[in-house]
Structure 1
């Protein structure tokens, strides 16, 4: 009976590197023929077990990692991936060590998971390719040889971007969409600026970030504050924004792919708020404070482009349009040590607004766990009870991947926000 990990077993008689979880080791020229054999075996199993075999051909999914441990983790994530769009996965392992021998090794297997119940299963092909040494120069050609023709290519680059941007550009040039996860960057500020620079050099590239999906519920909750007509005028009077992100405690155990301080979610949220409210960065160095060591940042802005404000204000009772706060706005990011949260998790957003002598505060606060937040509003003459919101759906990597695989075009808002982060850190 077929298992979720795959049908094919590793051929231990084949010399060289062995990856038992990757399936059967084959020569590159044998890939299509061996996969065809596996599909015949799968069809026989379906007839015997009376299961329904769902096979789709919508996209190629290329996953790029730089070590065996990350490859194993990516392969495990695929078990939980509920997307039925994947026709073929190419799991690419790059060994970029200067002293590594020039080598290309290939494994194949079929993957399956239940859609509704175990009776109906979705199947896709997985090709694992290990490339090392001088062979990396031809990585784009190697990957292209594994793809199903005439289908879009989605590239997911795990962990840090490569120091050699040429490798990344080669893979970008054969991809329709590119996914990264800045929550796993070991050098977050430097890497997120690299991502912005790479995107600017590859204008055809549709770049997305799983971390953006983790920020989305916070953006939605902030927008919901001002969906209420009574609170809408206060959007123009926001003059202070405080964002807190978690950092690891001194006793917190982390794996080697985690940075104890990763402010990317906070930076993305700050950049999004800046653009939505129409504020312009000051050229005065005194208006910017960047403490990369602690993860503390602040910006003071006094110039505003009213045409860029997403939600135009209601007029005041006197019939005049609300203007920018006289003192401008200050956006602050600061760390909070929490042992039970992954570094970089958002834990608070606090906004203060002053309109016509009235002050209002809007707060989203992490509660006892990362799955829930408490939203609260304090407005003169108005009482709104705090509300607890579940945001657990944004924590599972496979769910975030599933959402990204549903998107066929560009995420222009993310790209704009990414470039704003670059400017904030410049």
Structure 2
């Protein structure tokens, strides 16, 4: 049975609340014999919007697994093409603790409902005075009444640019949305995937004698994963990483992106001191890496010597990378390090711990849009 079909069907908001209360009473009664009764716990509301069943089911499973770490009232809006109008509810008990935690997951399945109708169903189900995380699967329709209906009550909007149909259009639109000063904070799970990459790259320049090279970068090479057929994959993750470099180091674009190789990109930038930087984004096939994920980074810099700083994911499907520092072509420090490949649930768990804005992400997103020539 699908996770979306579990629970009892109800027809009104009041009936939904009554059924949730009954589930809590039943769980408490069943736990009275020598077991601590399950506690109703919620520190946030999580609203998921999905148009495809596969995304709705994935989201429901992920949030259920996060119930103990991030107890919430979760509302999964499955807005498919079906003409049914129904609310399905279930109460999930987190396992693995002596004191069971009961958190509530509500599935709102709707086909033809308008934005106003959906809002009138979802908003009354929210627990007041708790933050609202809005996880929009696929591409968010930013300028539509549907998106506004949900985003106006959100404390934080979670998207995943890896699932965007046209990230080259949606990422700049998100940058403009952030610039306009929305009432919610924004995050991208694709940006969260880059956290271990950014940490490894930053660690190179914790070494005092290598730090001067950071201001003398002359070239950047970033690889991103494609499948064996070489299908066109938009390198949104690679561009977010490049946007991070540009925002933190004061780089600016000089020429708009141009195609290079099969799906790659080649363009020129300028450092803060005006010197040129040649940038290449290159498609690569690497086993065990999701399409679009970064596979390797090479920074070229000239100070008193020619240096290369390299992080390259191992081509064996493992969660490890090879890091190397070369001076005048000779390796002086090479090692294998842990480079995780987090699942969606791990990424979401990290983001549910944050309610504030992420200025580093926002500046990187703005820099990315400048690079792509889409202000």
* Correspondence for 1:243: 222
Offset, 1:417: 1.3
* Correspondence for 2:349: 402
Equivalent residue for 1:112, pick from 72, 84, 93: 93
Quick one: distance in 2 between partners of 1:63 and 1:22?
17
* Correspondence for 1:415: 362
* Correspondence for 1:288: 256
* Correspondence for 2:11: 27
Quick one: distance in 1 between partners of 2:18 and 2:37?
24
* Correspondence for 1:271: 243
Quick one: distance in 2 between partners of 1:60 and 1:291?
43
Equivalent residue for 1:131, pick from 100, 110, 114: 110
* Correspondence for 1:308: none
What do residues 28-61 of structure 1 show as CA deviations (whole Å, max 9, x unaligned)? 2301111000000111122236156243231101
Offset, 1:418: 1.5
Offset, 1:250: 2.1
What do residues 189-239 of structure 1 show as CA deviations (whole Å, max 9, x unaligned)? 223233223334452220001111110111111110000011111111111
Larger-gyration structure (1/2) = 1
| TM-score between the two structures when normalised by the length of structure 1 | 0.80
Offset, 1:343: 0.3
Q: Which runs of 5+ in 1 are unaligned?
A: 1-9, 11-17, 252-258, 305-323
Equivalent residue for 2:22, pick from 17, 37, 42: 37
Residue 296 of structure 2: SS of its match in structure 1?
strand
Quick one: distance in 2 between partners of 1:277 and 1:360?
18
Equivalent residue for 1:347, pick from 280, 285, 295: 295
Quick one: distance in 2 between partners of 1:292 and 1:352?
19
Offset, 1:70: 1.8
RMSD: 2.6
Cα distance change on mapping 1:370 and 1:298 into 2, 3 Å: farther
Equivalent residue for 1:301, pick from 248, 254, 269: 269
* Correspondence for 1:338: 286
Residue 90 of structure 2: SS of its match in structure 1?
strand
Offset, 1:163: 7.5
Cα distance change on mapping 1:40 and 1:82 into 2, 3 Å: closer
Quick one: distance in 1 between partners of 2:186 and 2:26?
38
Quick one: distance in 1 between partners of 2:325 and 2:3?
54
Q: Is the 8 A contact 1:238 1:325 kept in 2?
A: no
Cα distance change on mapping 1:381 and 1:202 into 2, 3 Å: closer
| TM-score between the two structures when normalised by the length of structure 2 | 0.90
Quick one: distance in 2 between partners of 1:63 and 1:85?
15
Q: Which runs of 5+ in 2 are unaligned?
A: none
Offset, 1:260: 5.8
Quick one: distance in 2 between partners of 1:378 and 1:60?
49
Q: Is the 8 A contact 2:232 2:263 kept in 1?
A: no
Offset, 1:78: 2.3
Alignment length (residue pairs): 371
Cα distance change on mapping 1:93 and 1:81 into 2, 3 Å: same
Q: Is the 8 A contact 1:261 1:294 kept in 2?
A: no
Cα distance change on mapping 1:168 and 1:292 into 2, 3 Å: farther
Cα distance change on mapping 1:45 and 1:158 into 2, 3 Å: same
* Correspondence for 1:3: none
Equivalent residue for 1:215, pick from 194, 207, 211: 194
